[in-house]
Amino acid sequence: MLNTIGALGEFGLIARLTAGFPQTDDVIIGPGDDAALVRAGDGRVVATTDLLVEGRHFRRDWSTARDVGHKAAAQNLADVAAMGARPTVLLLGLAAPPELPVDWVDGFAAGLAAECAAAGAAVAGGDTVGAATLTIAITALGDLGGVPAVRRDGARPGDVVAVAGNLGMSAVGLDLLRAGLPGPDPCLDEHRRPRPPYREGPRAAALGASAMLDVSDGLLQDLGHIAAASGVAIDLDPAALRPASEVEEAVARLAAAGADPRRPLDYVLAGGEDHALAATFPASVRLPGRWSIIGRVDAGEGVTVDGSPAAPSGWDHFS
C-alpha cells in the first residue's frame, strides 16, 4: 500500500491531486499534456499567483489538509474577484517532503476542489516536486466578461468606501490558535477556511466600482494601497466598523487567559487574511445587501479613522 507521496511517484501524485475536480467549459484541455488549454472568451485574462509555506501560512497541527486546500484556493480566487472578474481556472504547484502522507494529499485536493466549485472555477493542471518544506503555489485565472478591470487607482473624492465579507475574525482566530484556546468556532473557521464573497467582485464592477481590492493584509494597509494609487485620502467611520460579536467574545477569552489581545476594533482594522472585498463607489450607486459603507474618499492622502491618522499596520510578509 502506498502511504507516502514518495512511494506514489510524480505522475501518480499529479493524478491524485487533479482527480475529481470540477471541470467547466473554460478548460478545453486539462491535466495530462505539457500544458493546459483554456478558453479566454473576453480576449483578456486576469492572472494572479500566491504561495503558502508551511510554518508561515499554515500549520498542519492547526489546520486539516482539507482546510489548507480551501485556503490555498480562496486567497487566489479572491484576488481574481477583486479585479471584477469571474474566476475560471487554477494551476497548482506542490513542493512537498517525500514522506508526506498520501491521505494528506487526498484531503488537500478535496478542499481545493470544494473551494473551486464554490467559485465556479476548475483546476487545469499543475506540477509537483520534492522539497524539505511543504509549499503550495497557486496561479488563478479569471474572465472579465467584456467589462473593464477594476483597479486600485480609480477612487475619486466624493466616493464612498464599502466592504463585503468578514473583517477581523481570521486574525483573532489565529491568536486563539497561538494561545491554545477553544473557539468561538466561527473565528477559527474563518482563519482555516476563509469565505471570500466571489460573486460580489463582478457585481461591484457592474455597479461601477471605481477601485477595489482583496483585504488580505489588513483593512488599513490595503485601503492605503487604494489611497496611494488613486492620490486620495480615505476616512473610515468607526461606528460602521463594529466588530462581530464573535470577535468580541474571542478577545474576551484571550484577555481572560492573559494573552494580551488587541482591541476588537484593532482586529477589524488591521487583522489580515480576511479575504473580504473593499471597494470605492460613486456616492449615487445603490449598493446591494452584502456591501456595507464604512467611509468616504476625500482630497488629500493617507487613511484616517474618524479624521485621526491611522498608523500603518497589518500583515508584514517579511517580518
Q: Is 79 annotated as a binding residue?
A: yes
Strands 302-305 and 233-236: parallel
Average pLDDT of the residues in 130-140: 96
Q: Crossing angle for the helix pair 169-179 and 185-192, nearest 10 degrees?
A: 100
Least confident of 21-25, 227-231, 242-246: 21-25
Q: Which residue has the cell 506540477?
A: 127
Residues contacting 316, CB < 8 A, separation 6+: none
Q: Is 315 annotated as a binding residue?
A: yes
In degrees rounded to 5, what are phi and psi of residue 302? Answer: 85, 180
- Please give the Cα distance from 27 to 30 (Å, whole number): 6
Q: Is 178 annotated as a binding residue?
A: no
Cβ-contact 131, 70 below 8 angstroms: no
pLDDT tens per residue across span 183-216: 899 999 999 999 999 999 999 999 999 999 999 9
Q: Is 104 annotated as a binding residue?
A: no
CA angle 89, 94, 96 (to 5 degrees): 165
The rounded percent of the chain whose pLDDT value lies above 70 is 93
Q: Is 139 annotated as a binding residue?
A: no
Q: Is 48 annotated as a binding residue?
A: yes
Q: Is 127 annotated as a binding residue?
A: yes
Which three cell numbers, joined as nine digits, stand for 299? Answer: 482630497
Q: Is 152 annotated as a binding residue?
A: yes
pLDDT band at 317 (very low <50, low <70, confident <90, very high): very low
Q: Is 216 annotated as a binding residue?
A: yes
Q: Which residue has the cell 494551476?
A: 91
Average pLDDT of the residues in 21-35: 82
* Torsion angle, alpha carbons of 271, 274, 276, 279, to 10: 30
pLDDT at site 99: 93
Residue 34 vs residue 145, higher pLDDT: 145
Cβ burial of 88 (10 Å; 0-12, 13-18, 19+) is buried
Average pLDDT of the residues in 152-158: 98
- Please give the Cα distance from 123 to 144 (Å, whole number): 19
Cβ burial of 146 (10 Å; 0-12, 13-18, 19+) is exposed
pLDDT at 87 over 70: yes
Q: Is 57 annotated as a binding residue?
A: yes
Complete domains list, the chain, with CATH: 8-143 (3.30.1330.10), 160-309 (3.90.650.10)
pLDDT at site 318: 41
pLDDT at 135 over 50: yes
Supply the pTM of this predicted model: 0.91
